Amino acid sequence: MASKRQAVKPTKKQPESETMLETLKTLTEAWGPSGYEHGVRAIIRRMVEPYADEITVDPLGNMICRVGKGGKKIMVAAHMDEIGLMVTFAEKKTGYLRFSPIGGLVNTALLGSRVRFEDGTLGTLAMPEYFGAARTAAPALDQYYVDVSTGEGEPTIEPGMPAVFDRTMEQRGSRVIAKAMDDRVGCVVAVEAMRRLKKRVQNEVYFVFTVQEEVGLRGARPAAYSVDPDIGIALDVTPAGDMINVEKNEVRLGGGAAIKIHDTGLVVPPAIRDWMTQTAEREAIPYQRELISLGTTDAAGIQIARAGVPSGAISIPCRYVHTPSETVDVNDVEACIALLAALVSAPVELG
């Protein structure tokens, strides 16, 4: 049966899942590449102000929201930035712009994609002779350009201006498709956990919305140094292993929250792993184990702050990471929210 496009419409009294989807739509459609997270931060701040005991913004732009006092100091990190591009050169009188990447652009996902600049200017990613060899081979990044021509004089976009993919969020059954799921869906998990906990925690929890993760975990490190937590938890997407001809892993869409065991930047301490898995089992929250050989998260930065921080991650399974159509399952997102809320609300005794 073909599924119809589902619009997210507010109601007077919404179930939690509908509230979560509204938040996800707002954040995935927001504009905010690495180093330019100010707009996303303002949106999230409005969302979490009723639920935080204290909110500060550090010099790099990380937003640190404290909830509770006493018990373990737990830092929960979700990054606000998304991949994008930076204009490096404007071809004279053509509306064609050369660019460099902000984060890990996927060359094969670029041709024909649309990007938007902060001032609202819309551009199309293109390349010369795209009907030639480019049909069957991935062109180098320097073969692409952005077309912002208007037919009404020279465009106003100049070198030094960043852009991000331009896409609206869509639903297909329980699957949700958008640009910037990485990592606005992690931000949603943090926001919704704060909302549902309503400050009922028995720890000192720092929900940190970090900057510049896509260009090297640059926000998480100084934030962790400032917070000086006892435990670190990153919230981020992880590549699903249930696609055709991909490197196999056990993570699949619809399988529940992915509890990280190992990635290229983090070996999760057994005590953190067991705390997470045992909590999921006790609360009957569906979960799966995540082991990947490509990529890492803010947890890799948190773990090396000061004298070291035992750190783990709750990951949201995602298909087509770093494309304009990153895809998650609403049931996995709900499982991640439930697991995070259960972890930070109760007293923590690590084995």
| Residues labelled catalytic | 213
Q: Contact at 8 Å (CB) between 337 and 23?
A: no
Q: How far apart are CA 53 and CA 67, in angstroms?
A: 5
What are phi and psi for residue 304, nearest 5 degrees? -105, 15
Count Cα atoms within 13 angstroms, Cβ side, for 90.
16
- In 91-161, DSSP assigns E strands to 96-102, 114-117, 122-126, 145-147
One-letter amino acid identity for 73?
K
β-bridge mates for residue 328, sequence order: 176
Q: Give the C-alpha distances (Å, rounded to integers) separating 235 from 90, 198, 341.
A: 37, 20, 12
Closest C-alpha among 176, 170, 172 to residue 334: 176
Token pair for 72? 């373990």
Q: Contact at 8 Å (CB) between 232 and 75?
A: yes
What are phi and psi for residue 123, nearest 5 degrees? -130, 160
DSSP class of 50? G
Residue 142 DSSP SS3: helix
